[in-house]
A = this chain, B = another copy of it.
């Protein structure tokens, strides 16, 4: 399907994409660039990439598929470096967790190559970063959101959708704004809350004792608090307005529960909990009926 993948950033996300593409037989060779020479070498040793590029430009030139998988803070400078060397017929994608900022950066930097860019966000990941944790199955049975621009060359969106579908992802399409609002509510805010919950415990003198007593509920609730600090710093800043809006909604819901506790109004408290409990019991990963075309239309 592709002659050469130019992989910019050989960490968990980029490395897993390269491995998945190879496993599916969708690429002839992978040329990888990473800012860290050590990461590049590890990626080569692990068979994630076939050739090491000494510069970003070297990895992009001659590639008919380019995946940008760098920290959010490096997105704009990377796009600026890609623009002049990207082949006219290449497909360029990213894997960032926020899309409004990426699209804005692309508009500022890509110039006439803007039409080749299909912003992408795989709903997948692990707490453990780094190429050592890359795996071909990371994107399998996971959602993949595409947020094309009005300027995006339409057949490229189809090509991108086909590619991720062949990797086992369930592909959805929506606007960057709609994407950022959705993930502020179901991903970015939960991370912020998990960070705050951990820090609240750590701020108290009994922290060690309490953490030693925590059970399986705490284990699952707090798992995302172990996420990479620089990655999440960037996500929370890039989608700040939406995350703060969701935090206000959350505080209102918490206020309602606490008001019922304080009253105390046992019936009101039970029905607030029941609402949450029923919704969560009925939920499953990627399992609700949801028509992606509605997201595109609205």
Which positions in A face B, CB cutoff 8 Å? 123-125, 127, 142-143, 145, 172, 181-183, 185-187, 189-204, 206, 208-230, 232-233, 236-237, 240, 243-244, 246-247, 249-254, 256-258, 261-262, 264, 266, 269-277, 279-281, 283, 285-286, 288-290, 294-295
Contact = CB atoms under 8 A, between A and B. Distances in A.
B244 A124 contact: no
A222 B277 contact: no
B197 A295 contact: no
A9 B282 CA distance: 27
Copies of the protein in its oligomer: 2
14 contacts: A124-B216, A145-B213, A195-B272, A196-B250, A196-B253, A199-B253, A209-B290, A214-B285, A220-B221, A226-B277, A226-B280, A227-B273, A237-B266, A244-B261
A76 B229 CA distance: 47
A193 to B, nearest CB: 6
Contacts of A212: 286, 288-290
Contact of A186 (B182, B210, B250, B261): B210
Given A193-B197, A229-B273, A220 B223 contact: yes
Contacts of A199: 253, 256-257, 272, 275-276
Q: Name which of A145, A181, A211, A237 has the most chain B CB atoms within 10 A of its CB.
A: A211
Given A190-B217, A225-B276, A225-B280, 19 more contacts: A127-B281, A181-B210, A182-B209, A186-B213, A193-B221, A193-B254, A194-B221, A195-B273, A198-B279, A199-B276, A211-B279, A222-B280, A222-B283, A226-B281, A232-B273, A233-B266, A233-B270, A240-B262, A244-B261
B249 A214 contact: no
B187 A217 contact: yes
Contacts of A223: 217, 220-221, 280
Contacts of A225: 276-277, 279-280
Contacts of A251: 251
A131 to B, nearest CB: 19
A190 B290 contact: no
Contacts of A247: 254, 258
A264 B289 CA distance: 38
A176 to B, nearest CB: 14
Contacts of A213: 123, 143, 145, 172, 182-183, 186, 290
Contacts of A194: 221, 276, 280
